Amino acid sequence: MPDPSRPPDHVLDLFAAEGVVEPLPGGQGTSWRAGDLVLKSGCGESEAWLAQVQARLAVRLDEVVPRSVRLALPVPARDGSLTVDGWAATRFEPGTTQCHDLATLRATAHLLHAHLASAVPERPEGLDARTDQWAEAERAAYDPEVALRAAADRAEPGLADLAGTLVAGLDATDLGREQLVHADLSGNVLLDAAGVPFVIDFSPSWRSPLWAEAVCVLDAVLWLGTDQDALDGWRTGTERQAMLRAALFRILSDQPCEVPRYAALGLA
């Protein structure tokens, strides 16, 4: 019986995908390799703007010598479409390895967001059309009442209390100028064959780069084996406010949420 998560034949045909179709590890299990392409599901027509931005920036970054950061290059279908029935394609990069080094991840965040700030000076309207669990959780992280309500609506033990503790620590501190950021960097930075960071699976948000970096650090501690001491610089001041909102974003977007794992970090 065919795997229902596999790209349908007509999608493979429109993207001119060739070779063995195989699932790729990591992420949400929605990415497949077919020859020199990576196909990912869950990409609506409303996100075509992102592929356009990503394609322009990917080409620009690859022209920089020496390269310091790279971005996966979107590939259009044969009819010019950037998405086909919820699927999008990027060029597969051979010889990559997963990056688990926090210093490299943070440096990549700084470089990528600096390039994005100049490449996308105004907030894309397409962001408003996002209704996935990550977009909803990101909005809730910046609206305490929504965050508390969202946590209370779920039956997971301790989630509402954890959200309440995080919200209680929030104040009106300005986290800095907002721009287009990658909100899920920690698991989506590879090192190419030359050791240059190669960013995949762009998760777009219009927030402060400091918030996106806080999410990256939090994820690295939770899932990549980074020592919990990495959070020490995020327990006071503006960094603490960014981390509290990062934690709210994550506990609400994780479904289900491993509440004890977050609570053990003592973020609030």
CA-wise closest residue to 216 among 88, 110, 77, 96 = 110
Region 102-113: what's the mean pLDDT?
98
Which residues on neighbouring strands pair with residue 189, listed in sequence order? 199
Supply φ then ψ for residue 52, to 5 degrees.
-65, -45
Spatial distance between the Cα atoms of 201 and 28, rounded to a whole number of angstroms:
11
Region 164-193: what's the mean pLDDT?
97
- Per-residue pLDDT, 220: 98
Spatial distance between the Cα atoms of 92 and 95, rounded to a whole number of angstroms:
10
CA-wise closest residue to 245 among 171, 185, 179, 149 = 171
pTM: 0.94
CA-wise closest residue to 24 among 183, 185, 188 = 188
Minimum mean pLDDT range among 42-56, 150-164, 226-240: 42-56
Segment holding 248, helix H or strand E = helix 237-253
Q: How many helices (H) and strands (E) does the chain have?
A: 9, 11
- Per-residue pLDDT, 1: 47
Residues 190-225: tens digit of each pLDDT:
999 999 999 999 999 999 999 999 999 999 999 999
Which domains does the chain possess?
9-92 (3.30.200), 98-263 (3.90.1200)
